[in-house]
Amino acid sequence: MESIGGDGFPLTWVARLVERSRSEYELLRGLEVEMAAEGRAGVEVDGMSEVFSIAELRERYDGLAMPEPGDYDAAVVFEDVDQFRLTCVFVLGVLGRWEEAFQHLGPFPGSFDRTDPELFQGRLDVLTAMLEDGRWEDVVRHGAALSFDCEMVLGEGSASAVATLVMRAEALARLGEKFDALHLFRLALELGASCDGLDDLVLESARAHETFLLLGAPEGP
């Protein structure tokens, strides 16, 4: 079983997806391009296609100019202002700039329609950044709201709902709430068995975490 942080805890599926696709780079670069087009940042887009780790992203984009929450209406290049808002939160989270991120997030989910399924992926992205940054309490709090909305709109067994369950469960396990975490991992495995469109890594992670909670960290060689 792979582990992260030297404590024997299973490697999160989010970390494995980041390692596999480095999607943060494309998202950050895309936002940088859009903001440059809006005249907000004096950046030069050079068309490079390198892949970066989270640490390298933070070093490279530490000074990335970001719009203020009051600038949403001016972001005409993003047709969906709510999604733009969530994108800002996610990018700032990836950069570790959580104080700024929460200014955009506000009292989540804020004034937009929290039951709009078009926003669920953006909200999952925000949870992803929180989980990657070890903000366990925030994952539990915001994940509970997203779980409720996904189940109400898409049904209990939707891919978004199951992915959210796994992230909430990992955060609970990290906080020492092992019984509640185990319950959510098992629920995710049950629902995910017949779920379409769910990445296999999500269920692999749930199984690894379930084993870890039941048996503890694997012994060293």
pLDDT 10s digits, 37-87: 554 444 444 444 455 667 777 887 777 777 777 776 665 445 567 777 888
60 three-state secondary structure: helix
Q: Of 3-7, 51-55, 189-193, 203-207, which range is least confident? A: 3-7
pLDDT at 134 over 70: yes
Other Cβ atoms within 10 Å of 77 Cβ, number:
11
- Examine the domain organization and report whether 61 and 107 are in the same domain: yes
Per-residue DSSP letter, 143:
H
**Number of domains composing the chain:** 2
Question: How far is Cα 101 from Cα 88, in angstroms, rounded to an integer?
Answer: 7
- Over residues 117-127, the pLDDT tens digits come to 888 888 988 99
CB atoms within 10 A of CB 176: 9
Domain shared by 91 and 43, yes or no = yes
Same domain, yes or no: 98 and 17: yes
Q: Are residues 76 and 151 in the same domain?
A: no
The reply to whether 74 and 151 lie within a common domain is: no
CA distance from start to end of the chain: 13
The dihedrals phi and psi of 3, each to the nearest 5 degrees, come to: -140, 165
Cα torsion through 50, 54, 55, 59, rounded to 10: 60
Closest CA to 90 of 21, 47, 44, 30: 30
Average pLDDT, the chain: 75
Query: If DSSP codes are grouped into helix, strand and coil, which group holds residue 57?
Result: helix
* Contact assessment for residue 35 and residue 220, using Cβ atoms and an 8 Å cutoff: no
pLDDT the model gives residue 45: 42
What the block records as the tokens of 41 is 């940042």
What is the percentage of the chain residues whose pLDDT exceeds 70? Answer: 67
213 and 181 Cβ atoms separated by less than 8 Å:
yes
Q: Is 174 helix (H, G, I), strand (E, B) or coil?
A: helix
Asked if the structure places residue 4 within a domain, the reply is no
Query: Residue 53 falls within a domain, yes or no?
Result: yes
Cβ burial, residue 103 (10 Å; 0-12/13-18/19+): middle
Q: Do 29 and 94 reside in the same domain of the chain?
A: yes
Regarding whether 16 and 107 lie in a shared domain, the answer is yes
- Domain residues for the domain of 86 are 12-111
Domain-embedded: residue 101: yes
Q: Are residues 155 and 102 in the same domain?
A: no
Q: Do residue 58 and residue 138 come from a single domain?
A: no
**pLDDT: is 15 or 156 the higher one?**
156
Going by pLDDT thresholds of 50, 70 and 90, the confidence category of residue 21 is very low
